[in-house]
């Protein structure tokens, strides 16, 4: 039950990140937005870590691992998703983002000894993707592929981000063996990605030449930094520590669900039949991956 709580919480805040990005892009260029996202989140965790009795490790091996995780879990995917959302809408971006579990189960199959590809996982991921598609509706999906020529780079960017997330999810499992707590992992990766993105932001965006953003943009920046990054990554790594890379990747399947529910309860939007059917299919997919829907199968042998 605790693992499911972490999954639901991560998906709720991660689902809101697409909305925050769309609002923040009205007043900020992509690299500036991504830098502010990771920098503000890192500062928040640096302040919170000592209060929780967490010390950042100083081992050279772990610091290098933070750099790799910051690159694959923050700098690359955040930049690609933010760029992608300059080309395509947030709802469409969440559809492509939901492909992360596919990459994760494939990478984990070849990179780990205990998360091999099973029939349950294959069926669960496919059901999850079908559920996301049903929830978004045939019109949005047809528009996604019908405009592939004009938005191809944006869609490719989101897919590249999900592949990077998959690598990071599997790589981050090793922090458990090193005894690094989730708060330290989240802080370390966000500090590392802040250092990587600072020179890129300064050279490419020249932020001192930009007009001062409005309050709505700043609200979105702090929302995506504190809720969708600092808090979410703390929960993410706690979930990864106990549930594994494949299960933690399911956050991206539930993110569109949280986006729809936020629209219903916050914005007064209508909960349609397609939303309920899609959520039900996603639920069956999660149960399949968890092993509760189908009898557990032996791992599929690698080629």
- 95 part of a folded domain: yes
pLDDT for the residue 246: 67
Q: How confident is the model at residue 289 (pLDDT cuts 50, 70, 90)?
A: low
Q: Is the pTM of this model over 0.85?
A: no
Does residue 302 carry a pLDDT above 60? no
- 20 part of a folded domain: yes
Query: What is the rounded average pLDDT of the residues 272-296?
Result: 70
Does residue 111 carry a pLDDT above 60? yes
Q: How confident is the model at residue 73 (pLDDT cuts 50, 70, 90)?
A: very high
Q: How confident is the model at residue 195 (pLDDT cuts 50, 70, 90)?
A: very high
Distance CA 94, CA 293 (A): 26
- Report whether 22 contacts 85 (CB < 8 A): yes
Q: How confident is the model at residue 294 (pLDDT cuts 50, 70, 90)?
A: low
Neighbours of 274 (CB within 10 A): 15
pLDDT for the residue 150: 52
Query: Where does the chain have alpha helices with state H?
Result: 2-24, 30-51, 60-70, 76-84, 90-97, 100-111, 119-136, 138-146, 148-171, 174-177, 182-205, 215-222, 232-243, 245-248, 251-265, 273-290
Q: How high is the mean pLDDT of the chain?
A: 82
Burial of 174 (0-12, 13-18, 19+ CB in 10 A): middle
254 CB contacts (<8 Å, ≥6 apart)? Answer: 7, 8, 11, 15, 282, 286
Neighbours of 123 (CB within 10 A): 17
- Report whether 109 contacts 116 (CB < 8 A): yes
8 to 12, 28, 78, 86, 250: CA distances (angstroms): 6, 30, 21, 28, 10
Q: What is the Cα 184 distance to its own chain's centre?
A: 18
- 265 part of a folded domain: yes
72 or 7, which is more confident?
A: 72
- 139 part of a folded domain: yes
Count of domains observed in the chain: 1
Does residue 133 carry a pLDDT above 80? no
130 or 227, which is more confident?
A: 227
What is the extent of the structural domain holding 76?
A: 2-290
Query: What is the rounded average pLDDT of the residues 183-187?
Result: 94
pLDDT digits (tens, 9 = 90+) for 7-49: 778 877 877 787 788 889 999 999 999 999 999 999 999 999 9
- Report whether 34 contacts 82 (CB < 8 A): yes
- Report whether 162 contacts 84 (CB < 8 A): no
- Report whether 13 contacts 230 (CB < 8 A): no
Burial of 232 (0-12, 13-18, 19+ CB in 10 A): buried
Q: How confident is the model at residue 112 (pLDDT cuts 50, 70, 90)?
A: confident
- 40 part of a folded domain: yes
Does residue 135 carry a pLDDT above 80? no
Distance CA 105, CA 117 (A): 6
Does residue 128 carry a pLDDT above 80? no
- 296 part of a folded domain: no
- 107 part of a folded domain: yes
Distance CA 115, CA 150 (A): 38
Q: How confident is the model at residue 201 (pLDDT cuts 50, 70, 90)?
A: very high
pLDDT digits (tens, 9 = 90+) for 202-256: 999 999 999 999 999 999 999 999 999 999 998 888 888 777 776 777 777 777 6
pLDDT for the residue 292: 57
- 92 part of a folded domain: yes
Q: How confident is the model at residue 56 (pLDDT cuts 50, 70, 90)?
A: confident
Burial of 298 (0-12, 13-18, 19+ CB in 10 A): exposed
Distance CA 20, CA 16 (A): 6
Q: What percent of the chain has pLDDT over 90?
A: 39
Q: How confident is the model at residue 55 (pLDDT cuts 50, 70, 90)?
A: confident
Largest interatomic CA distance in the chain? 60
Does residue 187 carry a pLDDT above 90? yes
pLDDT for the residue 269: 59
- Report whether 11 contacts 94 (CB < 8 A): no
């Amino acid at each position: 039950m605790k693992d499911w709580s972490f999954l639901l919480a991560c998906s709720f805040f991660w689902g809101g990140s697409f909305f925050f990005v769309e609002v923040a892009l009205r007043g900020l260029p992509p690299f500036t937005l991504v830098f502010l996202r990771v920098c503000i989140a890192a500062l928040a965790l640096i302040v919170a870590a000592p209060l929780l009795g967490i010390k950042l490790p100083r081992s050279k091996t772990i610091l290098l691992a933070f750099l790799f995780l910051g690159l694959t879990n923050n700098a690359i995917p955040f930049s690609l998703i933010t760029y992608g959302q300059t080309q395509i809408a947030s709802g469409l971006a969440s559809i492509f983002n939901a492909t992360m579990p596919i990459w994760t189960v494939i990478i984990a199959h070849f990179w780990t000894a205990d998360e091999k590809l099973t029939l349950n996982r294959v069926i669960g991921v496919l059901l999850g993707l079908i559920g996301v598609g049903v929830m978004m509706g045939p019109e949005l999906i047809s528009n996604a592929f019908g405009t592939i020529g004009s938005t191809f780079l944006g869609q490719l960017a989101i897919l590249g981000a999900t592949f990077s997330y998959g690598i990071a999810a599997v790589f981050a499992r090793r922090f458990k063996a090193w005894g690094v707590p989730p708060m330290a992992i989240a802080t370390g990766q966000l500090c590392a990605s802040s250092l990587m993105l600072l020179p890129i932001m300064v050279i490419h965006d020249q932020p001192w030449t930009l007009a001062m953003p409005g309050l709505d943009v700043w609200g979105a920046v702090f929302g995506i930094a504190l809720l969708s990054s600092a808090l979410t990554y703390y929960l993410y790594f706690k979930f990864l520590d106990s549930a594994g890379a494949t299960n933690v990747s399911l956050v991206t399947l539930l993110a569109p669900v949280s986006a729809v529910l936020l629209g219903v309860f916050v914005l007064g939007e209508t909960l349609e039949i397609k939303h309920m059917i899609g959520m039900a299919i996603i639920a069956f997919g999660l149960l399949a991956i968890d092993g509760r829907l189908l009898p557990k199968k032996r791992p599929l042998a690698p080629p």
